[in-house]
Amino acid sequence: MKGETILSSRDLTKCVEFHGHMCPGLAIGFRAARTLMDRLSVRRSPDEELLAIVETDACGADAIQVMTGCTFGKGNFIFKNYGKHAFSLADRKRGKAIRVSLRPDAVKMDPISLSLSEKVQKDEASAEELARFRRFQKERTQKILEADAESIFKIEDISPNIPPKAMIMESETCDFCGEPTKKDLLRKINGKKACVPCAEENGPSVGLASSPCP
Ligand SMILES: [Zn+2]
Ligand SMILES: [Zn+2]
Protein backbone atom coordinates (compact mmCIF):
# COMPACT_ATOMS: atom_id res chain seq x y z
CA MET A 1 0.00 0.00 0.00
CA LYS A 2 1.31 3.48 -0.82
CA GLY A 3 1.91 5.96 1.98
CA GLU A 4 -1.00 8.20 0.95
CA THR A 5 -3.42 5.28 1.03
CA ILE A 6 -2.08 4.12 4.38
CA LEU A 7 -2.32 7.65 5.82
CA SER A 8 -6.02 7.73 5.04
CA SER A 9 -6.68 4.14 6.15
CA ARG A 10 -9.27 3.66 8.89
CA ASP A 11 -6.88 1.61 11.01
CA LEU A 12 -4.27 4.33 11.06
CA THR A 13 -6.89 6.98 11.81
CA LYS A 14 -7.98 4.92 14.83
CA CYS A 15 -4.35 4.78 16.05
CA VAL A 16 -3.96 8.55 15.67
CA GLU A 17 -7.24 9.16 17.53
CA PHE A 18 -6.11 6.95 20.41
CA HIS A 19 -2.55 8.30 20.56
CA GLY A 20 -3.37 11.96 19.96
CA HIS A 21 -1.09 12.76 17.03
CA MET A 22 0.65 11.25 14.05
CA CYS A 23 4.38 10.75 14.53
CA PRO A 24 7.23 8.46 13.39
CA GLY A 25 6.94 6.36 16.56
CA LEU A 26 3.26 5.69 15.99
CA ALA A 27 4.03 4.80 12.37
CA ILE A 28 6.61 2.28 13.59
CA GLY A 29 4.07 0.69 15.94
CA PHE A 30 1.44 0.64 13.21
CA ARG A 31 3.77 -1.04 10.72
CA ALA A 32 4.95 -3.46 13.41
CA ALA A 33 1.38 -4.46 14.27
CA ARG A 34 0.45 -4.93 10.62
CA THR A 35 3.58 -6.99 9.96
CA LEU A 36 3.03 -9.21 13.00
CA MET A 37 -0.64 -9.77 12.26
CA ASP A 38 -0.02 -10.49 8.57
CA ARG A 39 2.73 -12.98 9.35
CA LEU A 40 0.65 -14.73 12.00
CA SER A 41 -2.48 -14.51 9.81
CA VAL A 42 -4.54 -13.22 12.69
CA ARG A 43 -7.16 -10.52 13.09
CA ARG A 44 -7.64 -8.03 15.89
CA SER A 45 -8.33 -9.96 19.06
CA PRO A 46 -11.55 -9.10 20.90
CA ASP A 47 -10.56 -11.20 23.88
CA GLU A 48 -7.34 -12.86 24.94
CA GLU A 49 -6.49 -15.04 21.94
CA LEU A 50 -3.49 -12.84 21.18
CA LEU A 51 -0.73 -11.68 23.47
CA ALA A 52 1.43 -8.64 22.70
CA ILE A 53 4.78 -7.82 24.23
CA VAL A 54 6.22 -4.34 23.75
CA GLU A 55 9.78 -3.47 24.65
CA THR A 56 9.19 0.29 24.71
CA ASP A 57 6.73 2.66 26.34
CA ALA A 58 7.10 5.10 23.43
CA CYS A 59 4.41 6.14 20.92
CA GLY A 60 4.47 2.86 18.98
CA ALA A 61 3.06 0.89 21.92
CA ASP A 62 -0.27 2.69 21.48
CA ALA A 63 -0.62 1.52 17.88
CA ILE A 64 0.02 -2.06 19.01
CA GLN A 65 -2.88 -1.87 21.47
CA VAL A 66 -5.30 -0.38 18.94
CA MET A 67 -4.35 -2.70 16.09
CA THR A 68 -4.01 -6.01 17.92
CA GLY A 69 -6.75 -5.48 20.51
CA CYS A 70 -4.29 -6.56 23.20
CA THR A 71 -4.63 -4.03 25.99
CA PHE A 72 -3.05 -3.29 29.32
CA GLY A 73 -6.36 -3.77 31.15
CA LYS A 74 -7.03 -7.20 29.67
CA GLY A 75 -3.66 -8.46 30.80
CA ASN A 76 -2.61 -9.60 27.34
CA PHE A 77 -0.39 -6.59 26.75
CA ILE A 78 2.99 -6.94 28.41
CA PHE A 79 5.46 -4.09 28.78
CA LYS A 80 9.15 -4.82 29.15
CA ASN A 81 11.17 -1.70 29.81
CA TYR A 82 14.04 -2.46 27.44
CA GLY A 83 13.94 0.82 25.51
CA LYS A 84 13.81 -0.95 22.14
CA HIS A 85 11.46 -0.47 19.23
CA ALA A 86 10.67 -4.16 19.39
CA PHE A 87 7.26 -5.78 19.44
CA SER A 88 6.10 -9.39 19.65
CA LEU A 89 2.76 -10.98 19.05
CA ALA A 90 1.75 -14.48 20.07
CA ASP A 91 -1.22 -16.54 18.95
CA ARG A 92 -2.18 -18.56 22.01
CA LYS A 93 -4.25 -21.14 20.16
CA ARG A 94 -1.62 -22.10 17.61
CA GLY A 95 1.32 -21.52 19.95
CA LYS A 96 3.08 -19.30 17.42
CA ALA A 97 4.88 -16.03 18.09
CA ILE A 98 6.78 -13.48 16.05
CA ARG A 99 8.99 -10.58 17.07
CA VAL A 100 9.87 -7.54 15.00
CA SER A 101 12.59 -5.07 15.95
CA LEU A 102 13.51 -1.85 14.24
CA ARG A 103 16.70 -2.04 12.19
CA PRO A 104 19.43 0.36 13.40
CA ASP A 105 19.52 2.33 10.16
CA ALA A 106 15.76 2.35 9.56
CA VAL A 107 14.89 5.79 10.88
CA LYS A 108 18.26 7.22 11.74
CA MET A 109 18.49 11.02 11.91
CA ASP A 110 21.37 12.95 10.36
CA PRO A 111 23.29 15.26 12.75
CA ILE A 112 21.50 18.41 11.53
CA SER A 113 18.05 16.92 12.07
CA LEU A 114 19.16 15.54 15.41
CA SER A 115 20.22 18.96 16.70
CA LEU A 116 17.00 20.44 15.34
CA SER A 117 15.03 17.78 17.21
CA GLU A 118 16.92 18.56 20.43
CA LYS A 119 16.14 22.28 20.04
CA VAL A 120 12.45 21.50 19.62
CA GLN A 121 12.45 19.25 22.68
CA LYS A 122 14.07 21.97 24.78
CA ASP A 123 11.52 24.52 23.53
CA GLU A 124 14.30 26.55 22.00
CA ALA A 125 13.31 26.33 18.34
CA SER A 126 12.19 29.36 16.35
CA ALA A 127 8.90 29.26 14.46
CA GLU A 128 10.82 28.61 11.26
CA GLU A 129 12.82 25.77 12.85
CA LEU A 130 9.66 24.27 14.28
CA ALA A 131 8.02 24.28 10.85
CA ARG A 132 11.14 22.66 9.37
CA PHE A 133 11.09 20.01 12.10
CA ARG A 134 7.41 19.24 11.47
CA ARG A 135 8.10 18.81 7.73
CA PHE A 136 11.01 16.54 8.55
CA GLN A 137 8.91 14.41 10.93
CA LYS A 138 6.19 14.14 8.31
CA GLU A 139 8.71 12.88 5.77
CA ARG A 140 10.08 10.32 8.22
CA THR A 141 6.58 9.12 9.05
CA GLN A 142 5.77 8.77 5.36
CA LYS A 143 8.97 6.80 4.76
CA ILE A 144 8.15 4.38 7.57
CA LEU A 145 4.63 3.87 6.25
CA GLU A 146 5.85 3.17 2.72
CA ALA A 147 8.92 1.08 3.47
CA ASP A 148 9.17 -2.62 2.90
CA ALA A 149 8.61 -4.39 6.24
CA GLU A 150 11.89 -6.30 5.89
CA SER A 151 13.84 -3.11 5.24
CA ILE A 152 12.77 -1.50 8.52
CA PHE A 153 12.34 -4.53 10.76
CA LYS A 154 14.27 -7.59 11.70
CA ILE A 155 11.52 -10.23 11.74
CA GLU A 156 11.93 -13.50 13.62
CA ASP A 157 9.91 -16.43 14.87
CA ILE A 158 10.29 -16.76 18.60
CA SER A 159 9.34 -19.53 20.96
CA PRO A 160 6.07 -18.49 22.50
CA ASN A 161 6.63 -18.39 26.20
CA ILE A 162 3.00 -17.59 26.76
CA PRO A 163 1.84 -16.78 30.26
CA PRO A 164 -1.57 -18.13 31.28
CA LYS A 165 -4.67 -16.01 30.74
CA ALA A 166 -5.37 -13.36 33.34
CA MET A 167 -7.15 -14.85 36.32
CA ILE A 168 -9.75 -13.08 38.33
CA MET A 169 -8.45 -13.31 41.85
CA GLU A 170 -10.22 -12.62 45.09
CA SER A 171 -9.40 -9.52 47.09
CA GLU A 172 -8.73 -9.29 50.80
CA THR A 173 -8.48 -6.19 52.93
CA CYS A 174 -5.09 -4.77 53.86
CA ASP A 175 -4.83 -4.62 57.68
CA PHE A 176 -2.97 -1.30 57.48
CA CYS A 177 -4.88 0.90 55.00
CA GLY A 178 -8.15 -1.05 54.82
CA GLU A 179 -8.16 -1.16 51.02
CA PRO A 180 -9.22 -4.32 49.17
CA THR A 181 -6.16 -5.80 47.47
CA LYS A 182 -5.62 -8.75 45.13
CA LYS A 183 -4.87 -11.69 47.41
CA ASP A 184 -1.62 -12.78 45.82
CA LEU A 185 -0.18 -9.28 46.21
CA LEU A 186 -0.67 -9.09 49.97
CA ARG A 187 2.37 -9.60 52.18
CA LYS A 188 2.59 -10.65 55.83
CA ILE A 189 4.04 -8.07 58.22
CA ASN A 190 4.11 -9.18 61.88
CA GLY A 191 1.23 -11.54 61.23
CA LYS A 192 -0.84 -8.81 59.54
CA LYS A 193 -1.83 -8.59 55.91
CA ALA A 194 -0.19 -5.69 54.12
CA CYS A 195 -0.55 -4.35 50.58
CA VAL A 196 2.64 -3.50 48.72
CA PRO A 197 2.92 0.20 49.72
CA CYS A 198 1.94 -0.59 53.34
CA ALA A 199 4.49 -3.40 53.44
CA GLU A 200 7.13 -1.01 52.20
CA GLU A 201 6.15 1.56 54.81
CA ASN A 202 5.75 -0.79 57.78
CA GLY A 203 7.95 -3.74 56.99
CA PRO A 204 11.50 -4.32 58.16
CA SER A 205 13.86 -2.33 55.97
CA VAL A 206 15.92 -4.60 53.81
CA GLY A 207 19.60 -4.39 54.62
CA LEU A 208 20.84 -2.09 51.90
CA ALA A 209 24.53 -1.50 51.44
CA SER A 210 25.42 1.83 53.07
CA SER A 211 27.80 2.77 50.34
CA PRO A 212 26.79 2.85 46.67
CA CYS A 213 27.65 -0.23 44.67
CA PRO A 214 30.80 0.14 42.62
ZN1 LIG B 1 3.77 10.15 19.26
ZN1 LIG C 1 -2.41 -1.12 52.57
- Ligand positioned closest to the Cα atom of 195: 2
Residue 93, domain CATH: 3.30.1330.20
Tell me the pLDDT tens digit for each residue of 101-112.
999 888 878 888
Is 154 found in the same domain as 182? no
The rounded Å distance from CA 19 to ligand 1 centre is 7
- Ligand positioned closest to the Cα atom of 15: 1
| Domain range enclosing 192 | 171-202
Tell me the pLDDT tens digit for each residue of 49-62.
899 999 999 999 99
Q: Is there a domain that residue 113 lies in?
A: no
Tell me the pLDDT tens digit for each residue of 134-192.
999 999 999 999 999 999 999 999 987 766 666 667 899 999 999 999 998 999 998 99
- Ligand positioned closest to the Cα atom of 21: 1
The rounded Å distance from CA 3 to ligand 1 centre is 18
Query: d(Cα 12, Cα 7) in Å, to the nearest integer?
Result: 7
The rounded Å distance from CA 165 to ligand 2 centre is 27
Which pLDDT score, from 0 to 100, does residue 164 have? 66
Show contacts of 6-11: CB within 8 Å, 24+ apart: 6/145, 6/146, 7/142, 7/145, 11/66, 11/67
Tell me the pLDDT tens digit for each residue of 47-102.
778 999 999 999 999 999 999 999 998 889 999 999 999 999 999 889 999 999 99
- Ligand positioned closest to the Cα atom of 23: 1
Neighbouring-strand partners of residue 99: 88, 156
Residue 190, domain CATH: 3.30.60
Is 175 found in the same domain as 97? no
Domain count along the chain: 2
Is residue 205's pLDDT more than 60?
Answer: no
